[in-house]
A and B are shown apart, each in its own frame.
Chain A
Amino acid sequence: MPETTPPGDVANPPTAATAALSKKGLGAGTVGLLGAIVIGISCIAPAYTLTGALGPTVAVVGTHVPAIFLVGFIPMLLVAFGYRELNSRMPDSGTSFTWATRAFGPWIGWLAGWGLIAATIVVLSNLAGIAVDFFYLMLSQIFQNPSIADLTSNPFVNVVTCLAFMLGATLISYRDMQTTQKLQYVLVGFQLLVMVFFGVVAFIHVGAGDAFDATAISLDWFNPFAVGSFSAFAAGLSLSIFIFWGWDVTLTMSEETKGSTKTPGRAATLTVVIIVVLYLFLSVALISYSGVGEGEYGLGNSDIQGNVFFSLAGPILGPLAILVSIAVLSSSAASLQSTFVSPARTLLAMGHYGALSPKFATVHPKFFTPGYATIVSSVVASVFYTVMRFVSEDVLWDTITTLGMLICFYYGLTAFACVWYFRKQWFASARNAFFQFAAPLVGGLILAVLFVTTLIESANPDYGSGSNIGGVGLVFILGVVIILLGIVIMVVQSRVRPEFFRGRILAAGVAGDANETAAALPE
């Protein structure tokens, strides 16, 4: 007679053989300290992040980039504490969506999920765009033919190449192909070494007196209060949130790390120290070399700000510039892979809880990935990039700025969700008071202020890259369109799938209530 043997079933006590088969579950304790740091750095993708974010940040705060990078870490850290609290209480692949739903109910939860998906889709298109630039730069370096590098500015060539990259990344995610651990270590190590080498050579040029616009380092660069205006400060901060995005994963890898219980904390700390030191070193090096003027290689030159390494690698490294291309390409590739997973998993959770079509909750029978959700994310990111490439004067810059805004939006909601969800146990202990109340509250407030400020400022046509439609800043239009589109889709879904929106599937509540386990997939 057919029978199932759930582990520990009393009616069918598992035989020794079945027990041995079922006991291996999640790979508890499989990622060591080094492995966790490698995953963390790989997710942050410093080479990609810095080439994308340095220019736009210089554009708003000038030489005060190091200060802004340091300050930008604070809200990230505070929100990450809240993220970790929620993750350990409700480990669910829907993350922000699930947690915000549990704290504030279906409508706000839906929007938080939408914010996360939109942010990751925007970053996917930016990543692929940066990869296209460096792909042609690398080809031109290999064949020593500078005209190949210009191909990337042909919108058709650019879009077609970008779509090809997207397709590759989608296939890798869809089929869940993974690189070996050794290769990951090599790629991450290579990325870090090349970035350090890049900075050192920039300093050598400054010392030798042949830098493009040698600028003396000043302590003032590290002083956040020296930034001219609050709006510049806010704009810089929202960009620097982006450069630390992805770091939070190291903090939440608690169940997988081996060694002592301190491993995740150590990994997160070491990761962020490495990243911060690298960012400071490289930004100081490049500002010293190029200055923030608007000359050919000046960081203030709006033509190079969307992708600064692309323009500076050649003048600084000469024939070795190809190393930077390889580092950024491998960094983008790794980041594409880890980034693809998060919208797909959130879509899967939304499908599972009935907030979207149940198709999103399907798992591929052979590759065990959220196949449908992965393909939808990829198609949307591709369409988004294609439209942006033709609409925007500076697609990379605009997407990074929009991204900063969207991260503030959904991270802010997540932080508030943490505060509200744990409202009955804030002061149960000093630990709770800090991690569940104070830290996420302050972090959330900072992000909320940044979000609102960026949104208002970006309506100005001169904001950021200066892209605008009919005199209204493109970043503002993007932000508003993305959020309004989310609201429209949400209202449509509430008609089609009313169960979720009546709170019958995933009910709002507080920490420790009877519904808490419902939020941990599967029900």
Chain B
Amino acid sequence: MRYVVGYTDTDEGRDALALAVRLARTTGARLDLVLVLESAERATLVPADPGYERYLRETTEGWLATGLAHVPAGIEATTHVVYAESPADGLLEAVETLRAELIVIGTSPTGLLGRFTLGSDANALLHSAPVPVALAPGGCAAAGGAPISRVTCAIGTRPGADELLAAAIGATRRGDVPLRLVSLVALDQPGGAPASATGTAHPDAATRAEAHAAAVLEEAVAHLPATITVTSQVATGRRIEDAVAALDWWPDEIALVGSSRLAQPKRLFLGSTAAKMLRELPVPLMVVPRDAEFTLGDL
């Protein structure tokens, strides 16, 4: 099993690497640190300069070597400099060539809107990745390298929920960690339930969520060995953000969300619920595509 790490000589790159190390510690995967340079094939008004290209290559290989030095012994890791039209393209090509099962990238630590902000590169990646994408929040690099302690999976009823559950089960089994299944209910939203004039929730929403959670829990338990604890929780709040904030989080856990809501043509891969979760999450987030070619469940 291989994970592609989108590495750059920046805080985001170091965050991504730190998260990847923690994931690899949990699952035993090997890491491929990939640094994407702009392809010389792109159109440019500036004449290409082989001297500079070579200097750039050497410099970036130096950065990768520094990154590699931060990978603790016991985790297998390799570095690559690849050329592509865009960072997202480069990582996707690397995933395909290396048959990797996960991409780990950093997110800008200076986001004004919350913990995660997604740049255009991360968005492009989430839009088209055939494998799960793990997003490392800012400050990951400083947070220590403990293995993942629990997997929380935010699961709904939309298409793609099965793949997401499979991924969550796979990750849990592989890492031998507890699994928590979470149903998020936003009471204000048409998707949750229409709020009445007094602001109280439609009673059906919570009930339906409870029933769904119970069914999912049953399925997860059936696919996991008895040694792994599986819990289920319905989180409610006026908005999805409130529901997420209401949950308690372990310091070293990771959250899984699906892309099911968003995989309409020409829509952002990361839909409204996942995007809202991003804003509130205190832990790394892994986004699992609806039409994943491989998921963490393929073990």
**Could you list which residues of chain A lie within 8 angstroms of chain B, going by C-beta atoms?**
1-5, 17-18, 20-22, 24-27, 30-31, 35, 39, 42-43, 91-95, 176, 178-182, 184, 249-250, 252-253, 255-256, 334, 337-338, 341, 345, 348-349, 352, 363, 365-366, 368, 370, 520-522
User: Beta-carbon contacts of B49-67 to A below 8 Å, as 1s and 0s?
Assistant: 1111111111110011100
Q: Of B37-45, B152-160, B178-186, B212-220, which binds chain A?
A: B37-45
How many chain-B residues does the 8 Å CB contact rule pick out?
A: 50
Which 6 pairs between the two chains have the least Cβ-Cβ distance? A27-B40, A181-B43, A365-B9, A93-B51, A93-B52, A522-B58
B50 near A368 with CB under 8 A, answer no
B37 near A368 with CB under 8 A, answer yes
Q: Of B94-102, B133-141, B244-252, B277-285, which binds chain A?
A: B94-102
Nearest CB to that of B72 among chain A residues?
A2
Q: Which of A43, A366, A522 contacts B54 (CB 8 A)?
A: A522
**Residues on the A chain within 8 Å of B98, using CB:** 17-18, 21
Q: Which of A30, A249, A368 contacts B47 (CB 8 A)?
A: A249
Knowing that A43-B47, A352-B55, A366-B10 touch, tell me 7 more A-B residue pairs with CB under 8 angstroms. A4-B65, A25-B83, A91-B49, A93-B49, A249-B47, A349-B51, A365-B8
Nearest CB to that of A176 among chain B residues?
B38
Q: Which of A20, A25, A349, A363 contacts B97 (CB 8 A)?
A: A20
* A3–B71 alpha-carbon span in the complex (Å): 10
27 A-B pairs whose Cβ atoms sit less than 8 Å apart in the complex: A1-B73, A1-B76, A17-B98, A17-B99, A18-B98, A21-B94, A26-B54, A30-B40, A31-B48, A39-B45, A91-B49, A95-B51, A178-B42, A178-B44, A178-B45, A184-B45, A256-B40, A256-B50, A338-B46, A338-B47, A345-B52, A349-B51, A363-B55, A365-B8, A368-B37, A368-B60, A522-B55
Contact residues of B: prevailing secondary structure: mixed
A91 near B51 with CB under 8 A, answer yes
Is the CB of B75 closer than 8 A to any CB of chain A? yes
**Residues of chain B from 1 to 52 with CB closer than 8 A to chain A in the complex:** 8-10, 13, 34, 37-52
Contacts known (A178-B43, A253-B48, A337-B45); A2 close to B80, Cβ less than 8 A? no
Is the CB of B193 closer than 8 A to any CB of chain A? no
Is the CB of B82 closer than 8 A to any CB of chain A? yes
A-B contact count (CB 8 A): 141
Nearest CB to that of A246 among chain B residues?
B47
**Residues on the A chain within 8 Å of B149, using CB:** none
* Closest chain A CB from B28 CB (angstroms): 14
Is the CB of B69 closer than 8 A to any CB of chain A? yes
A341 near B46 with CB under 8 A, answer yes
Contacts known (A17-B99, A18-B80, A179-B45); A365 close to B51, Cβ less than 8 A? no
Nearest CB to that of A21 among chain B residues?
B80
Q: B51, B59, B80, B99: which has the most chain A beta carbons within 10 Å?
A: B51
* A270–B44 alpha-carbon span in the complex (Å): 20
**Residues on the B chain within 8 Å of A179, using CB:** 43, 45
Is the CB of B230 closer than 8 A to any CB of chain A? no
Is the CB of B68 closer than 8 A to any CB of chain A? yes
Is the CB of B79 closer than 8 A to any CB of chain A? yes
Nearest CB to that of B39 among chain A residues?
A27
**Residues on the A chain within 8 Å of B69, using CB:** 2
* A153–B45 alpha-carbon span in the complex (Å): 31
A24 near B82 with CB under 8 A, answer yes
* A363–B53 alpha-carbon span in the complex (Å): 11
Contacts known (A5-B78, A18-B78); A368 close to B48, Cβ less than 8 A? no
Nearest CB to that of B75 among chain A residues?
A2
A348 near B55 with CB under 8 A, answer yes
Is the CB of B77 closer than 8 A to any CB of chain A? yes
**Residues on the A chain within 8 Å of B41, using CB:** 27, 30
Q: Which of B46, B58, B60, B75 contacts A337 (CB 8 A)?
A: B46
Contacts known (A2-B71, A91-B51); A365 close to B40, Cβ less than 8 A? no
Is the CB of B81 closer than 8 A to any CB of chain A? yes
* A39–B44 alpha-carbon span in the complex (Å): 8
B43 near A4 with CB under 8 A, answer no
* A264–B34 alpha-carbon span in the complex (Å): 34
* Closest chain B CB from A178 CB (angstroms): 5
* Closest chain A CB from B79 CB (angstroms): 6
A2 near B49 with CB under 8 A, answer no
Contacts known (A2-B77, A21-B94, A366-B8); A26 close to B51, Cβ less than 8 A? no
**Residues on the B chain within 8 Å of A363, using CB:** 55-56, 59-60
Q: Which of B58, B79, B97 contacts A4 (CB 8 A)?
A: B79
**Residues on the A chain within 8 Å of B55, using CB:** 93, 348, 352, 363, 521-522
* A370–B42 alpha-carbon span in the complex (Å): 19
A520 near B9 with CB under 8 A, answer no
* Closest chain B CB from A19 CB (angstroms): 10
A521 near B40 with CB under 8 A, answer no
* Closest chain A CB from B133 CB (angstroms): 19
* Closest chain A CB from B180 CB (angstroms): 33
* A250–B60 alpha-carbon span in the complex (Å): 28
* A366–B9 alpha-carbon span in the complex (Å): 8
